[in-house]
A = this chain, B = another copy of it.
Amino acid sequence: MKKVNLCLLGASGAVGQEMLKVLEERKFPINELRLLGNREAGKKVVFNKKEYTIEKVTKDSFNNMDITLVAVGADLSKKLSPEAVKAGSIVVDNSSAFRMDKNVPLVVPEVNPDDVKLHKGIISNPNCSTIIALVALAPLHKFGKIKRIIASTYQAVSGAGKEGMEELEQQIKDYVAGNKLKNSTFKYQILHNLIPQIDSFDKNGYTKEELKMTNEGRKILHAPDMQISCTCVRVPVIRSHSEAITIETEKKITVKKARDLLSKAKGVKVVDDPEKFRYPMPLDTSDQDDIFVGRIREDISAKNSLVLWCAGDQIRKGAATNAVQIAELLLPELEKKGEEAPAKKTAAKRTCVRKKAAKK
């Protein structure tokens, strides 16, 4: 298999660090590895027993890279991802910058792997809550066609990055020490609290985070008419998101059928044995890639409606693992291109398509 020149932009953040861990674990075929991150530039990082130094981003940073994993915020990604594409790299972007761009596939490898093939240089990694919900819901949708989703999320502080996790940890320490609790990453104290706002508000009263589930969910499932309403809430949990979900389907799905479909689904672990007090809990899903699904029951409030509860590690499957899985889906394309054309030419072609798309 062709070994890949891989660039990681945002190597010092929580997701960037996890991406390195996942690349190593999954034995991703790396030739050259380049780590970029302005905040911790100069820092040494060990990957596959070799030491790397995090570099500052320059105009040459993306030269000669096959794939660039982008683990920085949307504003920076908007600026740098097109630069990486111009330099010949395929970008897998974890930010929200390009997710709803018609020319950018939005991919959960267990759900819509083939969409990767439609990329024009950038592929977006969906929002963490969307990934976690869709891994659980796609097998049910395939069987019974979901018409409506109502979800309430219980989102870990890791969703706000390293700073979010550190802020909760510090609040716990200060609480025990009797010190005043400070907050800066979150608008309010998160210890012993819940914050029903993630991202900014839209005019319709939903937050952008809540609308991501609607818009991204429809795009990934190729279901423009699916009705989705979500309430997103930050909870004092370190790194796994949980979601209480009600789905209304065109075709009835019994609990038995749902368990059966989900137990055969990739990336899902059915944890659903009420008698033995077994159900998904964020603590149990930490540091794992599977989305745990349980509390599956027929909705007593409507026909052809199912209620379930799922949990998944936000930093792994909700971000890093999903991005690396997308990169894996790119390997055949890179192998093929390596055979048929020199890197520069491919890059030029790709940039061209991208420019055309941007004009539309």
Q: Is the interface of A mostly helix, strand, loop or mixed?
A: mixed
A197 contact set on B, CB distance < 8 A? 274, 277, 279
Instruction: Compute how far the CA of A246 lies from the CA of B307 in the bound complex, rounded to whole angstroms.
Output: 14
With known contacts A154-B154, A281-B196, A228–B296 Cβ distance under 8 A: no
A46 contact set on B, CB distance < 8 A? none
A229 contact set on B, CB distance < 8 A? 246, 299-302, 305, 307
Interface membership of chain A positions 272-310, coded 1 if the CB is closer than 8 angstroms to chain B and 0 otherwise: 001101011111000000000011111111100101010
Smallest Cβ distance from A147 to chain B, in angstroms?
9
Q: Is the CB of A233 within 8 A of B228?
A: no
Instruction: Compute how far the CA of A238 lies from the CA of B175 in the bound complex, rounded to whole angstroms.
Output: 13
A238 contact set on B, CB distance < 8 A? 192
Instruction: Compute how far the CA of A172 lies from the CA of B282 in the bound complex, rounded to whole angstroms.
Output: 17
Instruction: Compute how far the CA of A311 lies from the CA of B189 in the bound complex, rounded to whole angstroms.
Output: 16
Q: Is the CB of A195 within 8 A of B237?
A: no
Instruction: Compute how far the CA of A237 lies from the CA of B195 in the bound complex, rounded to whole angstroms.
Output: 12
Q: Is the CB of A193 within 8 A of B295?
A: no
With both beta carbons as reference points, the residue of chain B lying nearest to A147 in the complex is identified as: B301
Q: Which of B173, B196, B280, B302 contacts A148 (CB 8 A)?
A: B302
Number of interface residues of A (CB under 8 A): 57
Smallest Cβ distance from A284 to chain B, in angstroms?
9
Chain B binder among A101-109, A201-209, A327-335, A344-352: A201-209
Q: Is the CB of B214 within 8 A of A295?
A: no
Q: Is the CB of A244 within 8 A of B231?
A: yes
A205 contact set on B, CB distance < 8 A? 255, 274, 295-298, 307
Say yes or no for A149: interface residue by CB 8 A criterion.
yes
Say yes or no for A59: interface residue by CB 8 A criterion.
no
Residue among A150, A173, A214, A255 facing the most chain B CB atoms (10 A cut-off)? A150
Q: Which of B150, B188, B300 contacts A246 (CB 8 A)?
A: B150
Smallest Cβ distance from A167 to chain B, in angstroms?
14
A274 contact set on B, CB distance < 8 A? 197, 201, 205
A30 contact set on B, CB distance < 8 A? none
Say yes or no for A53: interface residue by CB 8 A criterion.
no
Say yes or no for A50: interface residue by CB 8 A criterion.
no
- Contact residues, A235-281 vs B (CB, 8 A): 235-238, 242, 244, 246, 255, 274-275, 277, 279-281
A172 contact set on B, CB distance < 8 A? 172, 175-176
Say yes or no for A356: interface residue by CB 8 A criterion.
no
Q: Is the CB of B283 within 8 A of A204?
A: no
Say yes or no for A187: interface residue by CB 8 A criterion.
yes
Instruction: Compute how far the CA of A286 lies from the CA of B311 in the bound complex, rounded to whole angstroms.
Output: 28
Q: Can you spell out 11 A-B residue pairs with CB atoms less than 8 angstroms apart?
A: A152-B152, A154-B154, A154-B235, A172-B172, A193-B281, A193-B282, A194-B235, A194-B237, A194-B282, A201-B275, A205-B274
Give A residues with C-beta under 8 Å from B: 148-150, 152, 154, 172-173, 175-176, 187-189, 192-197, 201, 204-206, 214, 227-229, 231, 233, 235-238, 242, 244, 246, 255, 274-275, 277, 279-283, 294-302, 305, 307, 309, 311
- Top 9 nearest A-B pairs (CB, nearest first) are A205-B297, A152-B152, A229-B301, A227-B301, A152-B244, A231-B244, A201-B274, A193-B283, A176-B176
